[in-house]
Amino acid sequence: MNKSILILLLAAVTCFSASAEVTPIANGYHVVVATFNDRQEKEAQKFSESLNKKGFSSGYGLEKGKRFIYVFLQSFDFTQYSAAVKAMTEARKKSEFATAWVVKIKDGREIKEGEAVAETAAPVAEKELVPEIITEYILNPPADPIPNPQDLGNTPIFLSVYRDRDSKNVVADINVYDPDNGKLLATLKSNLYMNVSDPKTKSGRIKLVASALGYSDAQVEIGYKNTEKDTVQKNVVYFGSYFQLRFPMQKVPSGAQVVISKVAFFNDAAIMTPSSKEQLLALLEMLQDNPAMRIRINGHTNGNDRGRINYVGPSKNFFEFAADRIEKSGSAKELSVARAQVIKDWLIMQGISEGRVEVIGWGGSKPLFEKNSQNERKNARVEMEVLN
């Protein structure tokens, strides 16, 4: 074989190896001490090898459901649950493995304790069958108690907000409520790791509600002090070093109207403030991800007075009270139409087809709050309505 062909073959083998999927983790119980994503095989292998050099019997493998690579210290078959828990408890005595935990794997996927693990046995010739004598069935002995139960007081959380249909991350605000009285305690950002301080609610529980433009709200309710117990919920998962709370988001149904609450305007103007960009980008992304979607932008004002109206000038500066702005006199309804129209104009400049966005202005004819109330200013708003 000449040298050039050999080089090509080696390159092909190298390329194939680089793209090969990580070997799935074997069936049984595993004492897991670290988690990597499925693109970090080198890091997982390096960490596992470092543990082996320290005298541990470490390995790693892919969990196919969550696409995580688990690095583990020990493995046990399906009859050795108690032994696995005991090994985990021993591992936790070492500070570097303080968050070790046990996972149960079948066919490369993590399953909960109690799920069936029996596999279809291969057919055996009749002459090889041997009568089995069973003297006694006994239950597995209870597992040793796990020290320092994990809760939100000593374990961070990851707030995973994603589109239900394809698991794409969604940027959302997550409001934390006291479920006993509906009081808002805090607002958190999505898809971040964080520690949460004790809300000291009467029941010891908190409710988290994820909200994103164009999606129906999704929520999870958990205990602050006894969070491990809430892992029976499908959207609460404990990964050993953190809790993951999952918020699968579904597209808001046709006909629903949603206030675009973070889009604001300068006084007496159809010109948006700079802080409006974040939610406009979310609206743009929603339309780009759903090419068939059509929406209507509804503009509303607080009252029906006439007055001056400032419009975006020739420079098309949508987010600044620029020198070339155009000032006219007009009605409240005209102002509401102009505010809806300026959002449409911005979307068109970003590449959205004009026919996908309708606008309508209602002036002050559809207030949400009574005049002279503390929320009166919220009557001035724009709403998005999904048409299809």
Judge if 280 and 223 occupy the same domain. no
Domain that holds residue 230: 157-249
For helices 332-349 and 277-289, what crossing angle results, to 10°? 60
Please say which residue of 52, 77, 111 terminates a domain: 111
Mean pLDDT by 10 residues, the chain (388 residues): 46 43 90 86 90 86 88 89 84 80 89 64 42 37 48 88 87 92 90 86 94 92 90 87 90 87 92 92 89 94 92 94 93 96 96 95 92 87 92
Distance CA 127, CA 116 (A): 29
Q: Which pLDDT belongs to residue 133?
A: 38
Token pair for 101: 């935990």
CA distance 338 to 361: 8
Q: Which of 111, 144, 169 is the last residue of a domain?
A: 111
363 and 304 in a common domain = yes
Confidence (pLDDT) at 118: 58
Helices then strands (H, E): number in the chain? Answer: 5, 19
- Any residues with CB less than 8 A from the CB of 26 and at least 6 apart, and which? 61, 75, 105
Q: What is residue 348's predicted lDDT score, i.e. its pLDDT?
A: 96
Specify whether 204 is located in the same domain as 285: no
Domain count, the chain: 3
> DSSP letters of 5-35?
HHHHHHHHHHHHHHHSPPPBPPSEEEEEEEE
263 and 382 both lie in a single domain? yes
Q: Which residue among 182, 214, 249 closes a domain?
A: 249
**How far, in Å, CA of 122 to CA of 128, rounded?**
12
Encoded tokens for 95 = 């500070």
300 within domain boundaries: yes
Identify whether residues 58 and 175 lie together within a single domain. no
CATH number, domain at 185? 2.60.40.1120
Q: Are 161 and 234 part of one and the same domain?
A: yes
pLDDT of residue 355: 94
Q: Which long-range contacts (CB under 8 A, 24 or more apart) does 114-121 make?
A: 117/27, 117/78
pLDDT given at position 381: 93
pLDDT at residue 168, rounded to an integer: 85
265 and 293 share a domain? yes
Q: Is residue 125 part of a domain?
A: no
- pLDDT at site 338: 96
pLDDT at 290: 86
